[in-house]
Chains A and B, each alone.
Chain A
């Protein structure tokens, strides 16, 4: 394998016993609406977690809290050994976030792939990929371009570097956005329903890329409605409903052996449609 892919997927902590992502008693509400009631889970480096559950169960909000696009009111989040919240600060009711420098470090170690891609429409594919490495990581233009080209090749998007996002299909755009997130070499990559905005015939090409990343031991958290995919790609599956983790475990346990009524009702609904 090319030397660059090893630099994109960093897994030096895989022998380390501490999980790369730790969430403890996370709570989040919008006004009176408690969206996340008490979420706790761990994820080890190189593992893939699928989060499933009905709409409005808080899956996306959880992802947005972990990627700092939303704030939360209580709980602890530790990413790659760094605390997002000052430990023990949530005793007095409100939590205190870590200093800006720490939050920035955490942010740069997390990548997010959006449902609607959110590519920058005025920039070419290559510019979308090189902007942050050049401006944020201060990589040289040449290095940033070389990495971008390498990633585009991995995504099966050779020859598209001069295209604008509007010239690409939805599946291609989503693959560009995965490459854009990877260009910052994140430790954890989050996916917020990465195929929900795609035409059915285009979901396959995106899921294939994510599966390949899983094989390369990229640590990922994936919110998805693709049940077969959630089961196949993940080491761990978490079922959420109404702001709580109802069930979590291995794919085999969650999909085949769990006796939980809400989970089986949810899976039943899905297999019927």
Chain B
């Protein structure tokens, strides 16, 4: 029990870093994902192709590698170009997570946007709504309802993926738990960390179930 008393404050500190990565990633990746989704549906190939390439790289390579690439890549880039520029560890993690998750969200959002029947656009056009009005007042509200379940999956995965930040020595929850594992010579701290992740995701599941119920006012 005394173990837990000393362990909890340490892990709580790591959990706060985990939460920061989580929250900032969502903050940046959701709007970016929406933008990427819209760009991927562009009628111009010159817009569509690079966006497709970006999505395929983000989804086709490990997030772990992307974190390393952003962090050390920026360092090497400034070496070569002579421009003084490199990411600190934490911002590098946020950038890597945001652009990675944006790619996944983009595909979810694109699926949602394309699932809206053509008749909705036609009805809006007949009523004289502009393209912007149609998107924000007719299409997007319906897309939100359709993408909530799939987005919940991504958000829950994100909670657990934050542990990858340790690859560039960001002291989030899992990194600290591992350090304590060595100190205690026991896997017990890892289990406690597991409970943290689990409770966080339990709360998120409840939240998403609530949101889904709220959006159920129409079919």
Contact = CB atoms under 8 A, between A and B. Distances in A.
A135 B133 contact: yes
Interface residues of B, number: 19
A131 B126 CA distance: 12
Nearest to B120: A118
Contacts of A119: 123
Interface stretch (B57-65, B70-78, B137-145, B151-159): B137-145
B219 interface: yes
A111 B218 contact: no
A120 B120 contact: yes
A104 B130 CA distance: 10
Interface in A69-122: 69, 104, 107-108, 110-112, 114, 116, 118-122
A109 to B, nearest CB: 10
Nearest to B127: A132
Contacts of B44: none
A53 interface: no
A118 B129 contact: no
Contacts of B142: 121-122
A180 B122 CA distance: 14
B147 to A, nearest CB: 14
Contacts of A229: none
Contact of B126 (A67, A116, A121, A164): A67
B128 A108 contact: yes
Given A122-B218, A164-B217, A181 B120 contact: no
Contacts of B119: 114, 116, 118
A101 B151 CA distance: 40
Contacts of A116: 119
Contacts of A111: 126
Nearest to A116: B119
20 contacts: A69-B122, A69-B125, A107-B125, A107-B126, A110-B126, A114-B119, A114-B123, A118-B119, A119-B123, A122-B145, A132-B127, A132-B128, A135-B133, A135-B137, A136-B129, A137-B128, A164-B218, A165-B218, A166-B219, A184-B128
Interface of A: 67-69, 104, 107-108, 110-112, 114, 116, 118-122, 131-132, 135-137, 164-166, 177, 180-181, 184
Interface of B: 117, 119-120, 122-123, 125-129, 133, 137-138, 141-142, 145, 217-219
